[in-house]
């Protein structure tokens, strides 16, 4: 299970539907683990809000794997959430 919390304290308006994150999960042995949404809750109004997201990975982790790598490509919406309402580049 992988969980995330996204929040805004200004600059990004509340969205009615849970954000969908594009994630890629791989292990150090070359295994790939597709993800499925496992739940989401959100609250807030206008520019102050938060979402809690959960994703489930399948199949089970390779017993011989030592490390997982999580990749999340930057999308315009995610970059906007990271940046807020100023013009600085997204945090890395």
Under DSSP, the state recorded for 7 is E
What's the CA gap between 14 and 50, in Å, rounded? Answer: 8
- In this predicted model, what pLDDT tens digit does every residue of 27-77 receive, in sequence order? 999 999 998 889 998 888 777 888 899 999 888 889 999 999 988 876 555
Higher confidence at residue 7 or residue 69?
Answer: 69
pLDDT over 60 at 86, yes or no: no
């Amino acid at each position: 299970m992988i969980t995330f919390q996204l929040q805004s304290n200004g600059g990004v308006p509340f969205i009615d539907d849970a954000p969908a994150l594009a994630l890629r999960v791989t292990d150090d042995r070359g295994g790939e683990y597709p993800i499925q949404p496992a739940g989401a809750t959100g609250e807030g109004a206008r520019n102050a809000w938060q979402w809690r997201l959960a994703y489930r990975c399948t199949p089970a982790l390779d017993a011989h794997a030592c490390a997982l790598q999580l990749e999340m490509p930057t999308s315009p919406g995610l970059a906007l959430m990271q940046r807020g309402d100023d013009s600085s580049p997204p945090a890395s």
